[in-house]
Structure 1
Amino acid sequence: MYKNLEELRQEIVFSYFEEITKIPRCTGNEKGISDYLVDFANVRDLEVIQDDALNVIIKKQATPGYEHVPTVILQGHMDMVCEKNNDTEHDFNKDPLQLRVDGDMLYATNTTLGADNGIAVAYALALLGAQTTPHPALEVVITTEEETSMGGAFAVDPDHFEGKVLINLDSEEDHKLLVSSAGGVKAIQRAPITWEETEDDLTGFRITVGGLKGGHSGMSIHEERGNAAKIMGRFLHQLTDVPYLMQEINGGSAPNAIPREMNAVILIHQNNIQHLKDKIEAWNRLLKNELHASDPTILISLERMIPDTSNVFSQDTKHKTITSLMLIPNGVQSMSMEIKGLVESSTNLGIVSTSDKEIVFESDIRSSIKSLKEDIVARSKLAAELAGCHFMTDLDYPEWPYNPDSKIRKVFEKVHKEKYNTDAEIIAVHAGIECGIFIDKIPGLDAISIGPDIYDAHTPNEHISISSALNTWNYLLAVLEAMKEADL
């Protein structure tokens, strides 16, 4: 157990980790850390490439006796999610992170720690700087913009690599071997708005669907949590016996987040107000019955507003909006037959927004099977056409399919059994990581992903297990050493 940061920095991995926490590296602001990596390589006379996307590739020759072992690509990303508590004064563009040790855990103080994926950078630096550690020839690639678009990985030139074995260091669970991830694409449906004026004797209300848990659409979609957009669509569709006009609909924070809240503004006659309230009360009973296990606090609420009768949706626009909410695919679409409990394909309607010209519906489509991803896109496009809307896709990234014949996985399994006298757990995730992009770029690439226990990533409470980080480091070293005798 380490009592303080001074003790912890005696470990070479955490010495490097502390060093990079002093360098600004929010996604989109990676120039400083990228240049640091280049300087690190130059000082040690290592071959280094920095491309236009600020990705850095550093190559190191095999240690004596490992010249015959296939070259290994080690991969992580240099950027981090920059979040802080509301009452925290911290400028991510210049201020170093304030690290603190708490038992077995390392935190930053009231900000994200950047262990995702700074620990991979620290592992890479420790290996590149080592003098006697046995290893095959290494091609270390540290990418940019992973946390947003994976733009760095997409920009990497595959001609820079000789290796056909990839060890990704961006997992967050110790003693688990990640062997597959989903590909994804953002689907965008646009409903053009025709505005109309209406009569003055109407009352305005804001309807809110709230009280939902939400969650990451890759990690939580199988939990059948309520989607506020889809629920709002159902409610408005069933509101046929209460004549109303519609003015706007907004909600959701990101395509890959299950929306927790959705608001719609409607206008009705005074004599229909009680009927609307009764309808909401009935639907609250219905939804609490449907979602009592996943979202017991769901609530549809009503707030009176001063109406603006000069600007409401035409009946055609209203119809397109509700039809879109009803028809856009959402939720789990298929489960894996190879890995028990793994979602194979899904889609999440994450954002609905109203502007002066259109209502936009943004969905996150995922699948570990390319053809199934394409099928969901096709069905989403058909739903848009049936609703009279425009459709497009963006941010398409490839899947990482499970490889039952992976040789590098067998090496990791063998070393884990010998080192810990227990089997490593084989896992897959219904989320996107960069392995899929590299596999798509480098034919025949054999990939695996490992990492230490990281908790509450992307939040100011992010922390990493110190013992787990050191265990993963030693496990990685043992695997690299064992490659001398492995069949790769």
Structure 2
Amino acid sequence: MNAHLEQLSPQPLWRHFRTLCNTPRPSGHEAALVARLEEWAEARGLAHDRDAFGNLRLRKAATPGHERSPGVILQGHLDMVAQANADHPHDFTRDPIATYVADGWLHARDTTLGADNGLGVAATLALLEDETLVHGPLEALFTLEEESGMGGALNLAEDWLEGRVLLNLDSEDRGQVFIGCAGGADVVVEAQLPTAALADDEVALRLSLTGLVGGHSGIDIHKGRGNANRLLVRVLRSLEPFDARLIDYRGGTLRNALPREAFATLALPADEREHARERVAALEAELRAELAGVDEGLSLALESQDARPAEALTAHASRMLIGALHVAPCGVERMSSELPGVVETSNNLGVVSLEGGRFRLGALVRSLRDSATLDLADRFRALFELIGARTRVENAYPGWTPAPESALLARFRRLHQAHLGSDPEVLVIHAGLECGILGGKYPHLEMISFGPLIRGAHSPDERVELASVEEFWGLLRGLIEDLAQ
């Protein structure tokens, strides 16, 4: 499948990306790909090993005469975000990603593409097999479970890596190089809420909010796009005067993706059904007007449900839960005062569910300041304790402190000018690159992050510009040879 990829340039890179597209690799299901890469390394005579968590390292000795050059670590993650359009059945643990080219961009059909971070991995593999490349000692570090909580980086073995320079290939803008990133933490809220039987005069209705763009919860958090959980809770709040009670709820699929869809089942008095439908129709118009020019596809629907559930949350529990979700932090919390235009602190209400009275929320807090990450997480705890919920903070990881005077950055800027005729933008990103965690374990490393132009990451709109991949490949290859001198 995806044979057309091998017709693209640079061919070695796209050949490896084809392998990644054809090998299912959602977070937590990277084993088949790891085994395939080990077989590939074995066939090429490359040293390979794993740490206790399963992170994979491949090694290639320096070109003769360049053994004393600084060791370079090429780093990326093997997993991809698993997102598909609601009307497109796709099993990310079994089905390959179907790709196509349109107007100079590579897309996937109704799913995420996996360019994040498959192109960084593919470029690394292509470099390792390039016998014309002059290089010092090379290490390829492929981490696991980055998209689901930075698990590979957090559990990376210490005193394992040997290189002095680390090139993170997990950025998504041409003409830019990143030297710092936000830290973050997962916030998980759980509660068992009281339920009561439906009254004889109550009916069940299905409320759905669909059609949002979605996107990356760090890179796209400031763009004004809709968050399906935030918006559907707003609709639920507006239906409380009709004595609506929540039966169940499902919104979002990943804590690091802006939720595109959310669904709820409600119980309300039968004689309020038409009033509720009128209110939902009015809210659809209001929300579409608010999101005009940013997120044009929003659709709201309230439909009758044939099946009649036995129970819904009690009226008090339903009001308390909807109220807590309504005031929960969501979106940009603060912009940086030191880095103009950069988000300092944010939160994404990523995954919300309710079934049989059991409530669960998965959010992702990010900040350039570790203290602000912990404070915003504590605000969740304080808020949801008011409704008797338990809150825990997991997978906290530090930010990456910028080093604008590093020799590696100066070298990259010189090469960027030579190869592309322009100076790169030097930036700090409001997303969780693994560099912060890796730098904590290996503080001697000089690091930068760069990559091709990817848009729509973490959503089925994910795509990569083909011309930018050629630029990225030439720049990466040139940097490896320059570091060998």
The verdict on a shared fold, with TM-score over 0.5 as the criterion, is yes
2:321 is paired with a residue of what secondary structure?
helix
Mapped partners of 1:103, 1:383: distance in 2: 48
Structure 1 unaligned blocks of 5 or more: none
Q: Which piece of structure 1 moves more, 428-437 or 41-50? A: 41-50
Q: Which piece of structure 1 moves more, 375-384 or 449-458? A: 449-458
Q: Which digits, 9 at most, give the CA deviation of each residue in 1:22-54, with x for residues without a partner?
A: 656554444444344434544555443233444
2:436 is aligned to 436
Following TM superposition, by how much is the alpha carbon of 1:60 offset from its aligned partner in structure 2, in angstroms?
Answer: 3.2
CA distance 1:236–1:339, shift in 2 (3 Å):
same
CA distance 1:448–1:96, shift in 2 (3 Å):
same
**AA in 2 matched with 1:413:** R
Following TM superposition, by how much is the alpha carbon of 1:390 offset from its aligned partner in structure 2, in angstroms?
Answer: 1.6
8 Å contact 2:203–2:308 — kept in the other structure? Answer: no
The TM-score with structure 1 as length reference comes to 0.82
Mapped partners of 2:288, 2:107: distance in 1: 38
Following TM superposition, by how much is the alpha carbon of 1:326 offset from its aligned partner in structure 2, in angstroms?
Answer: 2.3
Mapped partners of 2:41, 2:307: distance in 1: 64
2:325 is aligned to 325
CA RMSD of aligned residues (A): 3.9
1:222 is aligned to 222
Task: Report sequence identity in percent.
Answer: 36
1:251 is aligned to 251
Mapped partners of 2:212, 2:100: distance in 1: 34
Q: Which piece of structure 1 moves more, 454-463 or 224-233? A: 454-463
Q: Which piece of structure 1 moves more, 360-369 or 44-53? A: 44-53
Q: Which piece of structure 1 moves more, 440-449 or 120-129? A: 120-129
1:419 is aligned to 419
2:383 is paired with a residue of what secondary structure?
helix
2:180 is aligned to 180
8 Å contact 1:191–1:317 — kept in the other structure? Answer: no
2:162 is paired with a residue of what secondary structure?
coil
Q: Which piece of structure 1 moves more, 81-90 or 339-348? A: 81-90
Mapped partners of 1:434, 1:154: distance in 2: 9
Mapped partners of 2:103, 2:309: distance in 1: 61
Structure 2 unaligned blocks of 5 or more: none
Q: Which digits, 9 at most, give the CA deviation of each residue in 1:177-227, with x for residues without a partner?
A: 122333322222223221223542334444445554443322332122333
CA distance 1:99–1:330, shift in 2 (3 Å):
closer
**AA in 2 matched with 1:258:** L
Mapped partners of 1:27, 1:190: distance in 2: 23
- Tell me if 1:407 matches 2:407: yes
2:394 is aligned to 394
Mapped partners of 1:300, 1:11: distance in 2: 45
CA distance 1:265–1:179, shift in 2 (3 Å):
same
1:221 is paired with a residue of what secondary structure?
coil
Q: Give the structure with higher Rg (CA).
A: 1
**AA in 2 matched with 1:436:** G
The TM-score with structure 2 as length reference comes to 0.83
How many matched pairs? Answer: 483
**Pairs within 5 Å for 1:78-477:** 78-80=78-80, 114-131=114-131, 133-197=133-197, 199-210=199-210, 212-239=212-239, 241-269=241-269, 272-273=272-273, 276=276, 279-280=279-280, 283-284=283-284, 286-288=286-288, 290-295=290-295, 298=298, 300-305=300-305, 308=308, 310-454=310-454, 464-477=464-477
Mapped partners of 2:266, 2:82: distance in 1: 38
Mapped partners of 1:95, 1:210: distance in 2: 24
CA distance 1:271–1:17, shift in 2 (3 Å):
closer
8 Å contact 2:240–2:319 — kept in the other structure? Answer: no
**AA in 1 matched with 2:384:** A
CA distance 1:27–1:195, shift in 2 (3 Å):
closer
**AA in 2 matched with 1:424:** P
8 Å contact 1:164–1:442 — kept in the other structure? Answer: no
Following TM superposition, by how much is the alpha carbon of 1:460 offset from its aligned partner in structure 2, in angstroms?
Answer: 7.3
Following TM superposition, by how much is the alpha carbon of 1:275 offset from its aligned partner in structure 2, in angstroms?
Answer: 5.0
CA distance 1:162–1:322, shift in 2 (3 Å):
same
8 Å contact 2:179–2:404 — kept in the other structure? Answer: no
8 Å contact 2:257–2:459 — kept in the other structure? Answer: no
Mapped partners of 2:139, 2:247: distance in 1: 56
8 Å contact 1:192–1:317 — kept in the other structure? Answer: no
2:379 is paired with a residue of what secondary structure?
helix
